[in-house]
Amino acid sequence: MHYVFDQLREQASAALVATGLIAPEQLALAEPKNRDLADLACPIFAAAKAAGEAPPAFSQKLAAAVRLPEAGLLAKVEAAGGFVNFTVRPEALAAAVLAEVTERGDAFGKDSSVGAGEKVIVEYSSPNIARKMHVGHLRSTVIGHSLRLIFEALGYDVIADNHLGDWGTQFGMLLAAIDLWKLTPWDDPDPVQSLVVLYAKYNSEAKEDESLKDLARAWFKKLEDGDVWARETWQKLIDITMAEFSRTYDRLGVSFTTQHGESYFESRMPAVMAEAVEKGVARRDAGGALVVEFDDKLPSCLLQKSDGGTLYQTRDAATCLYRLENYAPARNIYVVGAEQKLHFQQVFEIVRRMGYEKIADVSIHISFGKVSPPNGGRFSMREGNVVFLNDVLDEAVERAEAAMRANVAAGRSELTEEEIPEIAETLGIGAVVYADLFQGPDRNITFDWDKMLQSEGNTAMYLQYAHARCRSILRKASPLAPPSDGGGGGLLVHPAEQALLKQLARMPHAVREAGEKYLPASVADWTFQLAKAFSTFWENCPVLRDDVAPEMRTARLELVAATAQGLKNGLALLGIKAPERV
């Protein structure tokens, strides 16, 4: 898909190469840091050196030789030190951008030619069965879901995988507790909460009683060996937990292509371990444990404990090989916290040493920082001190609803009583999601209600309010709705109008960059800059005033409609809804 800025680069490139003074491989067109000076800049240092000339003199000669087509998007070319700068034709840019947004609609910004149908696996969320999702699960869930949406927008065939934690010694603890204390937590009003409390209690008592740890290990071994009661009880824990997870995912608008638990790969583990031994990747130690050593490259790890139990490395290696066999993905992406960096390095290296470079080389760990409470510290599940994700979402919605009711009481909103609950849900959850995505995954996040729920600044509410304002303007202008062909763009030459149009035109680049860098923040920043540009436009370019000429009003309404579409599309790629009214 060739968008307006793609066409600008193509036209500038063709004009430069046509001079015969610079080769295609010497071109590096990009937007300059100071966008007030030009719209595109081409550094010419390499070409000047090849020509044996000083860069300023060479850029002057090159600019003088450029011939721009009269009907093109570019209006001017000039030398600037070691650069050749290009400036767009305002009327042509406006008409092209508006037509592009109008024609593409909800697909504006997407480019299916990038992925061209290649398969990409994105593993995200991955909560543990028998536990509630807590605020620490938020990052993987929303980052992974946004990456899924971005890769789909770029034309990839995305397999969104929720790799559930339904296996491991924690289930030994729960089975031991249920059997030892004769409990039926699935009959409780809040069964998952009962499991959370039970796990915390057993873990606490096991710290003082080593026999409880031994009992838990024994029960997990029974589970692995197929004990009937253990398997039936374990399945009950899965069913009641998945019902609760589904409600949380529905609120977040998150979905998956597949939801495989670690247990799904249990039958593959013996073959993986046997192959690792056969290929010299792993060896049995004196105690019977299966050890993988990486020389000086990485610390050693186990594929099997001396009691025969498997580990996360075993299960993830089996998962890698399953994905290679069934999907052969172009990328195999894991959205998991930074504390698992060593784990994934070990897994990818094990698979590589087993001879499966094809999956090892495309496996990527997208790590992210921690979520901290407002007073610092760390959320902890084992100690029973945790903030559950649904509680966070509930509080966000309650705070959003309180702000909306205050606006209604003050006459700043015309929402009806019936509209408030649904819109509060949209605003509250959007605030939580955006507070994570806008700053990039590598940063730690402090959970700050006051910041995330502000209606000014870089927040979801600011973006959602901007979209709602656009829609309100268009409603007030009815029946003077803008034409569908974007034909009035030629009048939009005011600096604020041009800045808004250029920011709209940057969306495809932001989406591509987000895919290249695995960075939803690129889309978040583009959307924020669009909202800021719209605010400047609204302050400087009247739309609905009586003294605005009908042709100009129509043109500006076209720009408002295009802005609303851009804001909606940007928010959608972040997994956030754009309300019509606030």
Instruction: Give pLDDT, residue 378.
Output: 54
376 confidence band (pLDDT: 50, 70, 90): low
The mean per-residue pLDDT over the stretch 304-325 comes to 92
More confident residue, 485 or 369: 369
Max Cα separation, the chain?
90
Instruction: Give pLDDT, residue 462.
Output: 97
The mean per-residue pLDDT over the stretch 20-40 comes to 92
pTM above 0.95, yes or no: no
User: Distance (Å, rounded) from C-alpha 413 to C-alpha 17?
Assistant: 56
- Same topology between domain 4-88 and domain 389-573: no
Kindly report, residue by residue over 318-359, the tens digit of the pLDDT: 999 999 999 999 999 999 999 999 999 999 999 999 999 999
Its sign, for the CA torsion 289, 295, 298, 299, is positive
Q: Is the pLDDT of residue 1 over 80?
A: no
User: Distance (Å, rounded) from C-alpha 369 to C-alpha 337?
Assistant: 6
Q: Which tokens is 465 given?
A: 């309010």
Residue burial 224-244, b: 16+ Cβ < 10 Å; e: rest? beeeeebeebbeebbebbbeb
Its sign, for the CA torsion 295, 301, 307, 311, is negative
Q: Which fold has domain 389-573?
A: Isoleucyl-tRNA Synthetase; Domain 1 (1.10.730)
Q: Which tokens is 223 given?
A: 């589970």
Instruction: Give pLDDT, residue 307.
Output: 82
Least confident of 104-113, 395-404, 509-518: 395-404
Q: Helices marked H in 226-283 — which ranges?
A: 228-252, 269-278
* Side-chain-facing half-sphere of 377: CA atoms under 13 Å: 8
| Strand, helix or coil for residue 105 | helix
To which CATH superfamily is domain 4-88 assigned?
Arginyl tRNA synthetase N-terminal domain (3.30.1360.70)
Instruction: Give pLDDT, residue 36.
Output: 83
Cα angle, residue 27 at apex, residues 21 and 30 outer, rounded to 5°? 135
More confident residue, 388 or 23: 23
Kindly report, residue by residue over 460-482, the tens digit of the pLDDT: 999 999 999 999 999 999 765 54
Instruction: Give pLDDT, residue 383.
Output: 42
Backbone angles phi, psi at 526, to 5 degrees: -60, -45
DSSP letter assigned to residue 39: S
Name the residue ranges covered by the structural domains of the chain: 4-88, 168-256, 389-573
382 confidence band (pLDDT: 50, 70, 90): very low
- Overall residue count recorded for the chain in this entry: 582
Least confident of 35-44, 271-280, 446-455: 446-455
Going from the C-alpha of 275 to that of each of 268, 270, 288, the distances in angstroms are 11, 9, 17
How many other CB atoms sit within 10 Å of the CB of residue 168?
19
The mean per-residue pLDDT over the stretch 83-95 comes to 96
More confident residue, 285 or 224: 285
Its sign, for the CA torsion 542, 546, 550, 554, is positive
More confident residue, 37 or 120: 120
Please enumerate in sequence order all residues whose Cβ is within 8 A of that of 530, keeping only pairs 6 or more positions apart, or say none.
466, 500, 503, 504, 507, 563, 566, 567, 570
518 Rama class: left (phi>0) / alpha (psi -120 to 50) / beta: left
CA 572 remoteness from chain centre: 11
Nearest CA-CA partner of 438 in 517, 526, 503: 526
* Side-chain-facing half-sphere of 233: CA atoms under 13 Å: 23
DSSP letter assigned to residue 582: -
CA 137 remoteness from chain centre: 14
| Strand, helix or coil for residue 220 | helix
More confident residue, 106 or 484: 106
Nearest CA-CA partner of 260 in 127, 120, 162: 162
| Alpha-carbon torsion angle 413, 416, 422, 423, nearest 10 | -10
More confident residue, 478 or 295: 295
User: Distance (Å, rounded) from C-alpha 56 to C-alpha 234?
Assistant: 74
Determine contact, residues 500/564, Cβ cutoff 8 Å. Answer: no
Kindly report, residue by residue over 96-128, the tens digit of the pLDDT: 999 999 999 999 999 999 999 999 999 999 999
Instruction: Give pLDDT, residue 273.
Output: 97
Q: Which tokens is 293 given?
A: 């050593």
Q: Pick the most confident of 386-390, 411-415, 466-470.
A: 466-470
Radius of gyration, alpha carbons of the chain: 29
| Alpha-carbon torsion angle 161, 162, 166, 170, nearest 10 | 120
Kindly report, residue by residue over 154-166, the tens digit of the pLDDT: 999 999 999 999 9
Instruction: Give pLDDT, residue 386.
Output: 66
More confident residue, 480 or 5: 5
- Residue 83's H or E segment, with its range, is strand 83-88
- Residue 86's H or E segment, with its range, is strand 83-88
Euclidean distance between the first and the last CA atom of the chain, given in angstroms as a whole number? 34
DSSP letter assigned to residue 483: P
The mean per-residue pLDDT over the stretch 531-536 comes to 98
